[in-house]
């Protein structure tokens, strides 16, 4: 064999060896009981945020109280004991609301001296950003909340004891109020902050217009529109459930006439998208929520007053009900919308199968599987905590026997795993029951053996190229392999994936 052809074949074999294998079978579950070993609980990960290759969270080791910890799965360690007051510091600082800004993660914590204030850590250094509520003589709490990053600044609500609860910001060096929107000790009570474009949008009251839509870029802070001008202009539209979609920010609001309906703004134009529920206006409305984007449509749950709660969608021009899943006006109560592949997955009840796993792509809406078949299939599996990772959509569901950690791929193949322990549960009163770090899935659990702790698994397909997408790293590897083997006088055929028309 010519030397050139032998070299080409060697390169081709190296490329083949470099293509990662896709493992099969449910990944091994690693239960972590190192923070507070034994049956007592550390209550780890009830509030969690990511910085670099670690998840930061609060946990109680039984000695320091609820303090600042971090984990990457392999290593779980105490970052800093913030509150050293009390017997052995057992009171704890109860850190939470973790939000990343540049190389730091910010959070609220109580060191036992300054009250609930804004802190930050980079994993090595942990410091108080500012004692904002120093003006308070007794309850020294500024209670920072709604931490939201925009550019090099972190925006949040806080009460300094003088302005009341107003909008603040920090870059780690400078911490300052953005604007005293509502003069007086009560404050404008800014809430539901979200970054959209070059602005932070939020709900606030200036004391005259009620709770309306505002925005700031740090230099300019302005009311976007008095959506609800009723009650001599003091009516509140209570904007909520903000969802960026294309060039618009969609949300729920009440104009005082149509009730809580679907609205949107681009900062210049603020408009009602559609009056979905025209039978229950005023204090009613369709209450759109759970906004999730798929392609050129924004999907959500709403009640039109006739069909009950069902899945809807809008592209800004057309707003339509996707399907009446539970016919008869009761509604299917769709919830926890999550995009995975070319579908939106959610929990819904068609009236006969109970609350089960459904999906829609706008054209087809279907029951994926009746997971809990007890009581002639009428019982619910109540799937929730959806989290896409690699080739799989992970979620929790009840199969009629116990709560299981399950996963489903794009072919709707569902697998389940039994978490080690007795009387195992997957839940908590928190917003971060399931978290993803690189290729690992972390989740909260409770069992008789370890109490309330956490576990994780490693998803081998996370970060690997898809095998059925042109232009993917996998496809590029095959193209290179084709070129190299062609130079060697061989032929490699790349199989095209046929899609349904």
Residues 6+ apart with CB under 8 A from 64: 78, 81, 88, 89, 90, 92
Q: What angle do CA 119, 120, 123 make, to 5 degrees?
A: 140
The conformation of residue 487, written as its DSSP 8-state character, comes to H
Q: What angle do CA 80, 84, 87 make, to 5 degrees?
A: 130
pTM of the model: 0.87
State mean pLDDT over 86-100.
83
Cα–Cα dist 61/345, whole Å: 38
For the residues of 217-232, what is the DSSP string, one character each? -SS-EEEEE-S--TTT
Nearest Cα neighbor of 249 from 301, 298, 295 is 298
Sheet holding 104-110, edge to edge: 96-101, 104-110, 116-121, 126-130
Torsional class of 298: left (φ above 0), alpha (ψ -120 to 50), beta (otherwise): beta
pLDDT digits (tens, 9 = 90+) for 363-416: 999 999 999 999 888 899 999 999 999 999 999 999 998 889 999 999 999 999
Instruction: Establish how many alpha carbons lie within 13 A of residue 41's alpha carbon, considering only the half-sphere containing its beta carbon.
Output: 15
**Cβ atoms within 10 Å of 21's Cβ, excluding its own:** 7
Cα–Cα dist 350/369, whole Å: 12
Q: Which of the four pLDDT bands, split at 50, 70 and 90, describes residue 466?
A: low
Cα–Cα dist 448/271, whole Å: 53
Q: Which of the four pLDDT bands, split at 50, 70 and 90, describes residue 207?
A: very high
Classify 440 as helix, strand or coil.
strand
Report the interhelical angle of 473-487 vs 3-18 (nearest 10°): 170
Better-scored residue on pLDDT, 469 or 305: 305
Task: Choose the weakest-confidence range: 254-268, 286-300, 429-443.
Answer: 429-443
Instruction: Establish how many alpha carbons lie within 13 A of residue 450's alpha carbon, considering only the half-sphere containing its beta carbon.
Output: 24
**Cβ atoms within 10 Å of 234's Cβ, excluding its own:** 14
Q: Which of the four pLDDT bands, split at 50, 70 and 90, describes residue 418?
A: confident
162 CB-contact burial (10 Å; exposed 0-12 / middle 13-18 / buried 19+): middle
- The reported pLDDT for the residue numbered 136 is 73
As given in the structure block, the two tokens for residue 169 are 């910001």
pLDDT at 313 over 90: yes
The conformation of residue 285, written as its DSSP 8-state character, comes to B
- The reported pLDDT for the residue numbered 496 is 35
- The reported pLDDT for the residue numbered 430 is 64
- The reported pLDDT for the residue numbered 90 is 66
Residue with tokens 């009516």, as numbered in its chain: 235
Cα–Cα dist 279/275, whole Å: 10
- The reported pLDDT for the residue numbered 416 is 94
pLDDT at 138 over 70: no
Backbone dihedral angles phi then psi of residue 16, each to the nearest 5 degrees: -65, -40
The conformation of residue 26, written as its DSSP 8-state character, comes to P
- The reported pLDDT for the residue numbered 279 is 83
- The reported pLDDT for the residue numbered 492 is 37
Residues 6+ apart with CB under 8 A from 107: 47, 49, 56, 68, 95, 96, 97, 98, 99, 118, 119, 120, 121, 147
């Amino acid at each position: 064999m010519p030397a050139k052809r032998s070299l080409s074949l060697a390169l081709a074999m190296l490329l083949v060896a470099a293509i990662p294998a896709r493992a099969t079978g449910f990944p091994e579950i690693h239960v972590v009981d190192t923070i507070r070993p034994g049956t007592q609980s550390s209550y780890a990960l009830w509030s969690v945020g990511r910085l670099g290759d670690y998840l930061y969270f609060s946990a109680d080791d039984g000695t320091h109280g609820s303090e600042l910890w971090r984990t990457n799965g392999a290593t779980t360690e105490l970052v800093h004991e913030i509150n050293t007051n009390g017997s052995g510091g057992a009171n704890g600082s109860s850190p939470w609301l973790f939000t990343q800004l540049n190389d730091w993660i910010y959070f609220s914590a109580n060191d036992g001296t300054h009250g609930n204030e804004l802190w930050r850590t980079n994993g090595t250094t942990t410091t108080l950003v500012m004692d904002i509520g120093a003006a308070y003589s007794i309850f020294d709490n500024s209670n920072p909340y709604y931490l939201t990053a925009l550019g090099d600044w972190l925006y949040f609500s806080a009460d300094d004891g003088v302005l009341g609860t107003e909008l603040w910001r920090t870059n780690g060096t400078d911490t300052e109020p953005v604007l005293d929107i509502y003069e007086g000790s009560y404050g404008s009570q800014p809430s539901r902050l979200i970054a959209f474009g070059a602005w932070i949008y939020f709900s606030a009251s200036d004391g005259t217009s009620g709770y309306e839509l505002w925005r700031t870029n740090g230099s300019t802070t302005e009311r976007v529109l008095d959506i609800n001008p009723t009650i001599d202009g003091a009516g509140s539209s209570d904007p909520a459930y903000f969802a960026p979609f294309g060039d618009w920010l969609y949300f729920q609001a009440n104009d005082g006439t149509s009730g809580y309906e679907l609205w949107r703004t681009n900062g210049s134009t603020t408009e009602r998208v559609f009056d979905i529920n025209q039978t229950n206006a005023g204090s009613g409305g369709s209450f759109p929520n759970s906004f999730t984007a798929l392609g050129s449509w924004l999907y959500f749950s709403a009640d039109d007053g006739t069909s009950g709660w069902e899945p809807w969608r809008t592209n800004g021009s057309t707003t339509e009900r996707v399907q009446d899943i539970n016919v008869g006006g009761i509604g299917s109560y769709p919830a926890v919308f999550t995009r995975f592949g070319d579908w939106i997955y959610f929990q819904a009840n068609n009236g006969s199968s109970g609350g089960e796993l459904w999906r829609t792509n706008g054209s087809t809406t279907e029951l994926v599987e009746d997971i809990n078949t007890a009581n002639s299939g009428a019982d619910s599996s109540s799937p929730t905590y959806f989290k896409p990772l690699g080739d799989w959509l992970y979620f929790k569901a009840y199969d009629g026997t116990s709560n299981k950690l399950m996963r489903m791929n794009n072919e709707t193949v569902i697998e389940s795993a039994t978490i080690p322990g007795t009387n195992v549960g997957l839940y908590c009163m928190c917003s971060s029951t399931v978290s993803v770090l690189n290729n690992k899935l972390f989740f909260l659990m409770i069992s008789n053996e370890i109490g309330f702790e956490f576990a994780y698994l490693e998803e081998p397909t996370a970060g690997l190229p898809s095998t059925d997408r042109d232009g993917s790293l996998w496809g590029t590897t095959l193209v290179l392999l084709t070129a190299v083997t062609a130079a060697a006088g061989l032929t490699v055929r790349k199989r095209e994936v046929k899609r349904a028309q």
